[in-house]
Amino acid sequence: MKELYFEGASRMAKIIIDKIDDLKKTDGAVLVFPHKSVDGDCVGSSCAMVSIIRNLGGNAWVCMPEELPSNMSFLDVDDLLFYPQENFIRGDLLVHGKRYETAFSVDCSEGHRMGENCEIFEYYEDSLDVDHHEVTHLSAPLKWIEPGASSACEMVFYVAERIAEFTGKSISGVIDTRSAKCLMAGIVTDTGRFTYTNTKPETLETAGILMELGGNITEVCYNLFDLKTPSEFAISSAACSSARFYCDGKLAIVTVTSEMFEKYHANTDEISDVVSRLRDVGGVEFACVLRETDKDTVRGNLRSKTDFDCSIFAEKYGGGGHKRAAGFTVKGRDINDLAEEIISEASAVL
């Protein structure tokens, strides 16, 4: 029921309104932090939150840990993004001429998941957080953690609804067309186009309102899921054809090396669909895709169907996420040795 989110959304809405009033007095800025290895939900929720703050008269930017993936360029959010890696001076970060005074994280409540931006985020202890990952040790008043929500974008939508009510604005005055598109992007990403078990009636209701506000679901889904470059099509096909199956077909794993990316002239973001395709194979309960993002770093993406908890498994490697979808990044590990270790550990569970 949507009412379950009422208290958290109301509390966060009031905090944001008060923060913006304070920032107007100092002409300061809010930095909104997504996690590294960005996806549709963290980009969508962070960009929408920045737009909402700006629509209320505040200064805000998304503190990006990496370049925006090409499949999200249709969101047209470049003016909302700030890349601080070369500009940070501890305690004195200027964001387009505005002093950074408030940290706000979305879809991520822990600095270590933000890459090089961790130091910037953790400089301010009293950060604001909106997150749907189950991070049980976070319970401060400025944090709204709601594991039952489908996505951070759904949570941001509820906050925006409450802001509209508290300020007397129309919902379209808080969520503009671009924000609606961003929020739709996050919801369809984390619900698998409304096919995952985290899709609730209120999720569909939210998506319907976003459509009315300009969140074109056809455009969003096509760009995020269907559109493929020739190199992406080639490497995804090659990766899928190299899949290995274990435990009577319950475990599927793929390794994608730097040499494969070079062979197909592809970047490391262009196999994002492979792990879901593996999970969808009949009989597969747990799917894992390992990719070399450089010679010293391996990124793992995990998906499952039933009782296999991807988030707990990812924690073994310093990662996290959800029960059905999680990820991790490790350094200094050979991709093939890591694959054998994962096969052994997952087989013991399956």
Own/partner contacts of 95-100, CB < 8 Å, gap of 24 or more, are: 95/29, 95/31, 95/59, 95/61, 96/29, 96/61, 98/27, 98/28, 98/29, 98/59, 99/26, 99/27, 99/28, 99/29, 100/28, 100/29, 100/31
pTM of the model: 0.89
Q: Is 200 helix (H, G, I), strand (E, B) or coil?
A: coil
Tokens standing for residue 250:
């319950």
Could you tell me the domains of the chain?
A: 2-224 (3.90.1640.10), 230-349 (3.10.310.30)
225 vs 137: which has the higher pLDDT: 225
pLDDT tens for 139-195 read 566 889 998 999 999 999 999 999 999 999 999 999 999 999 999 999 999 999 999
Closest alpha carbon to 29 in 112, 90, 92, 115: 92
Partners of 102 in beta bridges: 30
Closest alpha carbon to 102 in 123, 131, 117: 123
Q: Please give the mean pLDDT across all residues of the chain.
A: 91
pLDDT of residue 13: 97
pLDDT tens for 91-101 read 567 777 788 88
**Element of type H or E holding 216:** none
